[in-house]
Amino acid sequence: MNNYQHLEDRRPQFITVFCDASHCPKTLAGGWAVWMKHGVPAITQRLSGALFSVKDSHFAEIVALEKALDYIETSLDVTNQIVVIESDCQGAMKSIEKRAEALKMRGAKHVKLKWVKGHQGVKCARSSVNTWCDKEAKRHMRLTRDRIIRQSNSCSTIYGPSEVAS
């Protein structure tokens, strides 16, 4: 151990989170994705899933943020951590603000909700991660949408034929 190891052990670490969601207004299908980096050495985790009966894109974005918070609250030690949660939906971040701030009561040193401009393509590491979340959320939404269309045996949406073969 070097002379400064004890200082490094007390230095705050980061939990960095990106969230995004996708929504189909015709079928109410949705998808969400979360990318997170935490720990020393850093661990990158990717979480994603499907949503059904999603009323709008704002609600889908809130679900993505809540999935991230669920994971943080149940699986990570936030003691002395700086938690940065990024999303391209300012309204959804406002909706989970109190819950995110409650991480301080669990020992987080600081919690920051940060808006990231969405749909910008890959320009830097941040936009690359946001693009992954966007594509993964869309992938889940499309799979869910297609499943809904197939199960309905007919389709009144623009996404497929009016009759679906069995």
pLDDT in tens, 124-145: 666 789 889 999 999 999 999 9
Residue 157 has a pLDDT of 52
- pLDDT given for residue 128 in this prediction: 82
Phi/psi of residue 74, each to 5°? -95, -20
Other residues' Cβ atoms within 10 Å of the Cβ of residue 80: 14
**Hey, what amino acid is at 46?**
R
Phi (first) and psi of residue 83, to 5 degrees: -105, 120
Report residue 95: phi and psi, to 5°: -65, -30
**Per-residue pLDDT tens digits for 11-59:** 569 999 999 999 999 999 999 999 999 998 899 999 999 999 999 999 9
Alpha helix segments (H runs only) across the chain: 5-10, 57-75, 90-95, 97-101, 125-152
pLDDT tens sequence across 45-99? 999 999 999 999 999 999 999 999 999 999 999 999 999 999 999 999 999 999 9
Q: From 56, 60, 33, select the one nearest 140 (Cα to Cα).
A: 33
The pair of structure tokens assigned to 107 is 């020992």
Report whether CATH 3.60.10.10 matches the domain 9-152: no
Amino acid at 10: R
Write phi, then psi, for 143 (nearest 5 degrees). -60, -40
Residue 2 confidence (pLDDT) above 80: no
Average pLDDT over residues 145-154: 85
In the prediction, which pLDDT does 158 show?
52
What are the extents of the domains in the chain?
Answer: 9-152
